[in-house]
Amino acid sequence: MIDKARFYIFDANNKMIGNPFGYKTHKAAEIQTNRRGYTVHAAIWRAYHEAKGKNPDHTLVHSIKNGGMLL
């Protein structure tokens, strides 16, 4: 269930990754995207390289969206 007061991380393929309950602040979500060696960081770059292989002009690495934008 999407909570409009939380933030969610999406990879290059617009697939939600990370905590399915979202993050309380944008900064908390951003910290997860930059933690090298952790699952979220690895998933972001794996999806990016997959998308880049299909389309060399692809530039989106990840996005953080507020739950209110998703409802």
Kindly report, residue by residue over 8-67, the tens digit of the pLDDT: 999 999 999 999 999 999 999 999 999 999 999 999 999 999 999 999 999 999 999 999
**pTM, 2 dp:** 0.93
pLDDT at 20: 96
Tell me the average pLDDT across 64-71: 94
- Burial class from Cβ neighbours inside 10 Å (0-12, 13-18, 19+) for residue 4 reads exposed
- 3-class DSSP state for residue 62? strand
Give the residue extent of every domain in the chain: 7-70
CB 51 within 8 Å of CB 58? yes
pLDDT at 71: 84
- 3-class DSSP state for residue 33? helix
Asked if the model's pLDDT at residue 1 lies above 90, the reply is: no
